[in-house]
Structure 1
Amino acid sequence: MSEVRTTAQSQSVTLPGGDEVVLTWAGATHRGRKRDVNQDALLTAFPLFVVADGMGGHIGGEIASASTVGRLQRMVGKGSITPEAIEKALVKAVRDIGEHPETTDEGTGTTVTGVYLDVTGDPATWVALNIGDSRVYLAREDVLVQVTTDHSLVQELVASGRLSPEEAENHPYGNVITRAVGPSESVEPDYVRLDVCDGDRFVICSDGLTKELTDYGILHFLREHAEPAPAVDAMLDAALENGGRDNITVVVLNVSLPGAGAGTAGDEGACGDADERVAGDDRNSAARPADDSSTAADRGE
């Protein structure tokens, strides 16, 4: 069991249409059982929630993820979060990474994955962003869907029909990613825009979690724990008990619209289910809802 015990934070925001949204979140990162250092980093600075999974050299990945999170944190401090601002921050992070002598390995870089609340339009929306194979999940109406698409060799094989999702889970090239934030990589994320819906829950995580828990395993712990902090702790404990083969980072974010019923911000109608909503965005994805084929290992039993 992890010695890390997380605490939740909460913030209430008035959206452009006048609705109030209450966000509650918690996050934790752990070295895992097999790695000497933790090359993951996370940022939970409203309105941006991000996980970065570094790679390369003994400390190169740690520098890459920390540099990326640091640049994004400075961007949040300036108060303007847009795709353009994110990409400028990532370009600066690439420069920072390249200035460290410890990051000269060709494979040095980091994933960056997360969501931010965009209140520049009416209605407000969530924007998910992704480079690499860390993931954003959305849980809505007891359905869990992967919002982001992995930038990985295995995902490309799945998308082309050469590999099934089940075969992909334990593929020997599962760690090979096709896009990262690094000295020789693209820094333009994929984006997915989502409605702000009452009761939604986001899970943002590195592949250290998804190596040890299936999608249904993640959904199980969300069902068991309504609040973010105990959900994070339970997932982290289960991932460690299942092997902890990599660094593990997880953020859980709850969304509540106290005055809007079970609808979207600025809309009294009910939100569609998560799978339909995500599939409605133009994105190249093999994401699927979690099914009920759980195992005791998924649940950490």
Structure 2
Amino acid sequence: MPPVELTWGAATAVGQREDNQDRHLAAPPVFAVADGMGGHVGGAAAAEAVVEALRSLTGSETTTVEAIRLALQRADGEIRAFQGPDKAGAGTTVAGVALVDEGAGPQWAVFHVGDSRVYRWHGGQLELVTRDHSVVQELIDAGYISDQSAATHPQRHIITRALGVGPRPEADVVLLPVVPGERLLACSDGLTGELTDDRIAAIMSLDGAPEEAATSLVDNADTNGARDNATVVVVYATGP
């Protein structure tokens, strides 16, 4: 596989919440964000469980789509097995990217469950790579509401898929070629609930290190009053 040089950065903020139930992983070849829910203890533990499951895939140049799916399934089972009233109803979303080699050269496996997102910035354009597993997204897809009204819809926080709760979820996974100069962003909905895609694009386009971009994104969300935890992982790819 041709060499791919990656640089990355991550940042998180509590926002107006009492504690931070988000967790993130930035360890090649996996970069991910998990947004826990279901109480202070349970939400954090659920997010931690999925991050630790994905951490088992790190330490080598690439992983596989099958390994990602198995790690997420394992985390789902661990969360469902939580004991104690403080962990009842615990669950988590997850979104991220991982370098894989499925026989066609280096590719990104973009994976997600829930409404945490992955964006790709390249050629001056920001693209939302994932599609939220949420009631609002289903209403948009069915033509009942517009993208513009989604941000204020009363059901905007209701998700239809999560690890640890509800029907056992299947992660959506798409493969994208690694493109020199591209920038990838994985984020919890605490970021996208405060910043428009245009604002995210403006920050992702700035010169500087990925750590600076990550910090700027979270700081902007915090300045806007961040009602939720906001967590991001930013990855820059440069090719051979």
TM surpasses 0.5: yes
Pick aligned residue for 1:38 from 17, 20, 36: 20
Q: Classify 1:95/1:77 alpha carbon distance in 2 versus 1 (closer, same or farther; 3 Å).
A: farther
2:192 matched to 1:210? yes
CA distance in 1, matches of 2:133, 2:186: 16
**Partner Cα distance (2:74, 2:177) in 1:** 30
Corresponding residue to 2:120 among 125, 128, 138: 138
User: Residues of 2 paired with 1:62 and 1:235: CA distance?
Assistant: 22
> How many residues were matched structurally?
238
CA distances 1:178-215 after superposition (whole Å, capped 9, x unpaired): 00001443242101111111110001100000011000
CA distance in 2, matches of 1:247, 1:93: 21
Q: Which moved more, 1:41-50 or 1:80-89?
A: 80-89
Rounded Cα–Cα distance in structure 1 between residues aligned with 2:61 and 2:151: 39
TM-score by length of 2: 0.94
Unaligned 5+ segments in structure 1 are 1-15, 260-301
Corresponding residue for residue 103 of structure 1: 87
- Partner secondary structure for residue 166 of structure 1: helix
2:6 is matched with which residue? 23
Instruction: For 2:29, give the aligned amino acid.
Output: P
Q: 1:235 aligns with which of 217, 220, 223?
A: 217
Separation in structure 2 between the aligned mates of residue 202 and residue 78 of structure 1, nearest angstrom: 20
Between the two proteins, what is the percent identity of the paired residues? 43
Name the residue aligned to 2:129: 147
Root-mean-square deviation (CA), in Å? Answer: 1.6
Residues 105-152 of structure 1: per-residue CA shift (max 9 Å, x gap): 3xx210011011112423221110010000000001000010001000
1:57 aligns with 39
Which one has more relative contact order, counting CA pairs under 8 Å at least 6 apart? 2
Q: 1:79 to 1:186 in 2, by over 3 A?
A: farther
Give ranges in structure 2 of 5+ residues lacking alignment: none
CA distance in 2, matches of 1:247, 1:214: 16
Moved beyond 6 Å, runs of 4+: none
Change (3 A) 1:78 1:140: closer
Pair 1:46–1:24, CA change in 2 (3 A) = same
- Cα deviation, 1:34-66, whole Å, max 9, x if unaligned, reads 111111000111001010001102321111000
Structure ranking higher in strand proportion? 2
User: Quick check: 1:193 aligned with 2:153?
Assistant: no
